[in-house]
Amino acid sequence: MNGAESLIRTLVAGEVTACFTNPGTSEMHLVAALDRVTEMRCVLGLFEGVVTGAADGYARMAEKPSCTLLHLGPGLANGVANLHNASRAQVPIVNLIGQHATYHLRYDAPLTSDIEAIARPYSKWLRTSSRASEIGRDGAEAIVAARTAPGQIATLVVPADVAWSDGGAVAKIPAVPKRKLPSTESISRAVSMLRTGLPTALLLTGDALHGEGLKAAGRIATATGAKLFAPYPVTRLERGSGMPVVQRIPYMPEQAIELLREIPQLILVGAAPPVSYFAYPGNTSVLTSPECEIHTLASPGEDYVGVLETLAADFSPRSSKQSLNEKAERAPRPTGEITLQGLATAVGVLLPENVIVVDEAMTSGRGLMAATAGAPPHDWLGNTGGSIGIALPLAVGAAVACPARQVLCLTADGSAMYTAQALWTMARESLNVTTVVFANHTYAVLQREFSALGVGSPGPRAAELFDIGHPALDWVHLAKGMGVPASRVTSLDAFAKAMREGLESAGPRLIEVPL
Near a second copy in 44-73, by CB under 8 A: 44, 46-47, 49, 73
Nearest approach in angstroms of CB 63 to a second copy is 22
Q: Is 314 in the site for a second copy (CB under 8 A)?
A: no
- For the four alpha carbons of 478, 479, 483 and 488, in that order, the dihedral sign comes to negative
- The footprint of a second copy on residues 435-464 (CB under 8 A) is 445-446, 449-450, 453, 455-456, 458-462, 464
- Please count the other Cβ atoms lying within 10 Å of the Cβ belonging to residue 278: 12
CA separation for the pair 350, 362 (Å, rounded): 21
Residues 391-430 that bind a second copy (CB under 8 A): 414, 417-418, 420-421, 424, 427-428
Task: Check residue 348 for interaction with a second copy (CB under 8 A).
Answer: no
Q: How far is CA 458 from the centre of its chain?
A: 32
Q: Which residues pair with 409 in a beta bridge?
A: 358, 435
Of 81-89, 179-187, 212-220, 256-264, which segment contacts a second copy by CB under 8 A?
81-89
Closest approach of a second copy to the CB of residue 447, in Å: 10
Using the rule CB under 8 A, is 29 a contact of a second copy?
yes
Counting beta carbons within 10 angstroms of the beta carbon of residue 204, is it exposed (0 to 12), middle (13 to 18) or buried (19 or more)?
buried
Q: Quick one: how many helices (H) and strands (E) in the chain?
A: 20, 18
* Separation between Cα atoms, residue 245 and residue 239, nearest integer Å: 8
Q: Which range in 38-46, 186-194, 295-303, 309-317 contacts a second copy by CB under 8 A?
A: 38-46
Rounded to whole angstroms, how far apart are CA atoms 10 and 393?
Answer: 26
Footprint of a second copy on residues 237-276 (CB under 8 A)?
272, 275-276
Out of 1, 12, 13, 101, the only residue in the binding site for a second copy (CB under 8 A) is 101
Interacting residue with a second copy among 300, 377, 386, 514 (CB under 8 A): 386
Give yes or no for a contact between 59 and 93, defined as CB atoms under 8 angstroms apart.
Answer: yes
Smallest gap from residue 104 Cβ to a second copy (A): 4
294 binds a second copy (CB under 8 A): no
Least Å distance, CB 132 to a second copy, is 12
Q: Which one, 178 or 470, has the nearer CB to a second copy?
A: 470
Which residues face 511 on adjacent strands? Answer: 436, 487
10 Å CB burial of residue 262 (0-12, 13-18, 19+) is exposed
Q: Which stretch binds a second copy (CB under 8 A): 179-187, 300-308, 344-352, 471-479?
A: 471-479
Nearer to a second copy, 283 or 310 (CB): 283
| CB nearer to a second copy: pick between 117 and 175 | 117
| Residue 331 sits in the site that holds a second copy (CB under 8 A) | no
Question: Measuring CA to CA, which residue among 376, 513, 373 is closest to residue 434?
Answer: 513
Residue 198 is a binding residue for a second copy (CB under 8 A):
no
Least Cα distance to 381 among 362, 398, 406 occurs for 398
Q: Is 129 in the site for a second copy (CB under 8 A)?
A: no
Q: In terms of CB distance, is 308 or 390 closer to a second copy?
A: 390
In this structure, the strands spanning 18-22 and 67-70 are: parallel
